[in-house]
Amino acid sequence: MYQVSNLGRVRSLDRYIPAKCALSKTGDDVLFFRKGKIIKLWEVYGGYFQASLSKGDKPKMIAVHRLVAKAFIPNPDNLPEVNHIDEDKSNNRVDNLEWCTRLYNEHHGTKIERAAKNRYRRPVEAYNEKGEVVASFPRIADAARAYGVTNGTLWQCCNHIGTVKRVKGLYWRYKE
């Protein structure tokens, strides 16, 4: 029902869809022709792209880089993950993808250094409901220690992830 290209584009195929027709005197299904089209891709957390593919009435979100790898890259060792060689998650071209292990994927390129720098080492500030800055810290770790919460909780708050909106009655953001 779908095709994927070596450039990371996903398209639905031309097809006939059975549907009940109110005008049919016998109540039989009528086949409607639906022309194939390029599927809109959805960017999800982390910069990855997914396509919503349906079989019947059940849509399923599938990672585009995995579709491309399964279609074009042999995996004789049955490796579980797909790595973006240039670390650009939006580049789903076949020449930028490779099958790999979890350990290799986690340690590829500059991921560890970037994650450490970006996740907890940026200056943060706490502000009240009026928008007034109440406290400022050079790192999330310092703020977390001062307020008795985890680094991850403040990180979620600063990045507007999940249900964490305030910590200890204060709003948090990265310092400009």
Find the distance separating the first CA and the last CA of the chain, reported in whole Å. Answer: 48
- pLDDT score for 110: 72
Q: How many domains does the chain have?
A: 2
Q: Are residues 63 and 15 in the same domain?
A: yes
Cα separation, 118 vs 58, in Å, equals 37
d(Cα 54, Cα 77) in Å, to the nearest integer?
Answer: 29
The pLDDT, as a whole number, for residue 175 is: 85
Q: Which of 62, 86, 109 is the last residue of a domain?
A: 109
- For the chain, the average pLDDT equals 87
Q: Which distant-in-sequence residues (6+ apart) come within 8 Å of 78 by Cβ?
A: none
Residue 119: pLDDT band (50, 70, 90) is low
Q: What is the pLDDT of residues 35-75, one digit of tens each?
A: 999 999 999 877 899 999 988 788 999 999 999 999 999 99
State the residue range of the domain holding 126.
Answer: 115-174
